[in-house]
Amino acid sequence: MINDLRFMHCISKAEKSFKRSLLLSCVFVFLSLVSYSQVSSTIDSTSIKIGEQITYHIQVETDTTNLVVFPEGQTFSPLEMIESYDIDTLKKKDKYNLVKKYGLTQFDSGAYTIPRQKIIIGDKTFFTDSLKVEVNNVVVDTTQGLYDIKPIIGVEKSGSNWWKYLLLALLIIGAIAFLLYWFIWRKKPLSEDEKIALLPPYDRAKLALRKLDESPYLENKNLKDYYSDLTFIIRKYLDEKVYDKALESTTDELISRLNLLKEGNQVDLSHDDIKNLESILKRADLVKFAKSAPDVELAKIDRDTIDVEIDHVKEALPEPTEEEKLLDEKYREEQERKKKRKKIWLTVGISIFLLLATLTGLSIKYGFDIVKDTIIGHDSKELLEGDWVRSEYGFPPVTITTPKVLKRFDLPVPDEMKSQISMTSFLYGSILDPFSVMVNTTTYKNLGDKKIDLQQTSEGSIKGMEQQGAQDIVVLRDKFKTPNGAEGLKTYGTLKTNNLLTQKTQEGNYVLLQFVSENILQQIIISSPRDDKYADQIVERILNSVELKPADE
């Protein structure tokens, strides 16, 4: 992207430089005066050894109604914050005295300056003073023996908590599967009524008669209920084996049907059997509807007669043929298949309902697009939720946090420019990829009194993008300030590129950050897909992580 980059330089006027310096000086003086009475900072030691910790104190005195925001994150560079302590609060009348402590350290020897820290009190911003710290080398005891350098030890990548979510999902699926098995597929123990229903009609009729004998109807002379149960037993048996409308037929209709079946040689019942059934059924009708009260002994005789007639009906029925037995077996198999299909559809229906209910609930809480991208997968989402890397690139170092580590590569410099500039570049992806990050540091060797013009270098970078295949580039520019106070130029907008695999035009966004420090130009270039909310979050996180260190540190 920077292969054909042409950096142009211009001399800034002394008058503008003087005015800018004067203005900045006035601002700093004003901030110092305002913050003096309310904000102060101290350190417990100005000289430490490599790796030792110093405690940085920020003390704020303010009204109890004001909201105070202390610095967070690595804002103490070049020193590294290793611990942020809780705020100590003391109340003095209508004011608060707040003390915030930070544990800082540094692992390289040298003289360092802790930069001014920004504190927000209410709707105003205050800055602490910068502080000097001397980091000394640890004296090595050269009288001890030297040891060989230890070999490189591979360090495994720290794992995420994905296994917890997997375990939770498996537990939920297991619980649902167990409930489906328990309530649908499990062979449940049969109840007493279900066991009776599985008996053949003859055995059921005989069992019903035995249960009738155990009932208290005759002891209580409850002949109406007794005859109701007795006639239901014989009618039920006839309904299942002889005439399928025996239960709903009147006595005369049932007896007429039995006579017709006898005359048609379909049932080998004697006239006496039919007469006995007719006599008992009509007597039962009189007891149920005419409140007749026969003798208890007669009721017992009628019970025995029904018992005998059930045997006679069984004997009178023809034996089923092999074809009928086969049809009956097929019928039972078909019933079993129907039950199995019902269980399958019920299981599938419940599973689909639970799945849809879960997806609906998650979509309501997190949004449909996030749920869809989590299930199907999304390149930008995977980058956003992966393990990010924070590192320093080039010199002076550019500290930046990225989804992937940037790899160093050498950009070819034209022969005529080798004596004028030197470049170091670190890259993930390229401008033609959906997502890319690049950090480039260019050092000018013979600038003299000239200064680097960010406006012109920005235009040169845009031309470099066009030469690499970018089209329809929309250019917007704005000032940019890093969290640790480095100021630069932000060039951003949209562009179109051709996908190398599909050869289709794809739209994207780009951000170009440029910073100048004397004869050094530092650039950060980020490209991302357009209309991709995950990519937008990635870019925002990267921009918020950028920190620059002066070359003298």
The structure tokens listed for 421 are 């500039």
Q: What is the CA radius of gyration of the chain?
A: 47
pLDDT of residue 325: 65
Rounded Cα–Cα distance for residues 230 and 306 (Å): 8
What pLDDT, on a 0 to 100 scale, did the predictor assign at position 32?
A: 36
Question: How high is the pLDDT of residue 304?
Answer: 92
Reduce the DSSP state of residue 364 to 3 states and report it. Answer: helix
The C-alpha atoms of residue 21 and residue 467 are separated, in whole angstroms, by 38
d(CA 116, CA 130): 5
Do 398 and 551 touch, CB atoms closer than 8 A? no
Which residues lie closer than 8 Å to 322 by C-beta, 6 or more apart? none
Q: Residue 233: in which H helix or E strand, if any?
A: helix 223-241
**What tokens were used for 436?**
């890319």
8 Å CB contact between 230 and 300 = no
118: nearest Cα among 7, 34, 204:
34
Query: What integer pLDDT is reported at residue 13 of this predicted model?
Result: 32
pLDDT at 372: 64
Kindly state the helix (H) or strand (E) to which residue 282 belongs, with its residue range: helix 271-289
Least confident of 50-59, 104-113, 326-335: 326-335
Q: Closest by alpha carbon to 474, among 504, 506, 509, 514? A: 509
Residue pointed to by tokens 């305002």 = 34
Mean pLDDT of the 87-107 span: 85
Each residue's pLDDT tens digit, 7-34: 333 323 333 332 333 233 333 333 333 3
Q: Contact, 226 vs 215, CB < 8 A?
A: yes
Distance CA 233, CA 395 (A): 102
Percent of the chain with pLDDT over 90: 11
Q: For all residues of the chain together, what is the average pLDDT? A: 79
Question: Tens digits of per-residue pLDDT, 453-497?
Answer: 888 888 888 888 888 778 888 889 899 988 888 888 999 999 888
Nearest C-alpha neighbor of 50 from the set 139, 141, 140, 137: 137
Residue 20: per-residue pLDDT = 37
Question: Is the predicted pLDDT of residue 388 greater than 50, yes or no?
Answer: yes
Instruction: Tokens 């399928």: give the residue.
Output: 244
CB-neighbour burial class of residue 318 (10 A; exposed 0-12, middle 13-18, buried 19+): exposed
Residue 335 has what pLDDT?
79
| pLDDT tens sequence across 137-185 | 876 655 655 566 666 655 455 555 667 777 888 888 888 888 888 888 8
Alpha carbon distance 140, 437 (integer Å): 42
Antiparallel, parallel or unpaired: β 54-63 and 95-105: antiparallel
> Looking at domain 26-136, what is its CATH homologous superfamily?
Immunoglobulins (2.60.40.10)
SS (H, E, C) 298-316: HHHHHHHHHHHHHHHHHHH
Tell how far CA 247 is from the center of its chain: 61
User: For the chain, which residues make up each domain, given as ranges?
Assistant: 26-136, 200-318, 323-376, 379-548
- The yes-or-no verdict on residue 513 having pLDDT over 90 is yes
User: pLDDT tens for residues 253-289?
Assistant: 989 988 898 888 888 888 888 898 899 999 989 988 8
Residue 232: per-residue pLDDT: 93
Confidence of residue 225 (pLDDT cuts 50, 70, 90): very high
Relative to beta strand 398-402, strand 547-548 is antiparallel
Q: How far is residue 49 from each of residues 74, 78, 136, 531, measured CA to CA in Å?
A: 20, 15, 5, 50
Cα dihedral 370/372/373/375 (nearest 10): 120
Contact 487, 474 (CB under 8 A): no
Q: Which of 70, 101, 98, 68 is nearest to 84 (CA)?
A: 101
Q: Above pLDDT 70, what percent of the chain? A: 83
* Biggest distance spanned by C-alpha atoms of the chain: 137
Per-residue tokens: 183 = 């309530």
* Mean pLDDT of the region 71-94: 83
296-316 vs 223-241: helix crossing angle, rounded to 10: 0
CATH code for the part of the protein at 200-318: 1.20.120
**Which distant-in-sequence residues (6+ apart) come within 8 Å of 68 by Cβ?**
60, 62, 96, 98, 119, 120, 121
Q: In which element (H, E) is residue 488 found?
A: strand 487-498
Cβ neighbour number for residue 467 with a 10 Å cutoff: 12
To the question of domain 379-548 being in CATH 3.40.1000.10, the answer is: yes
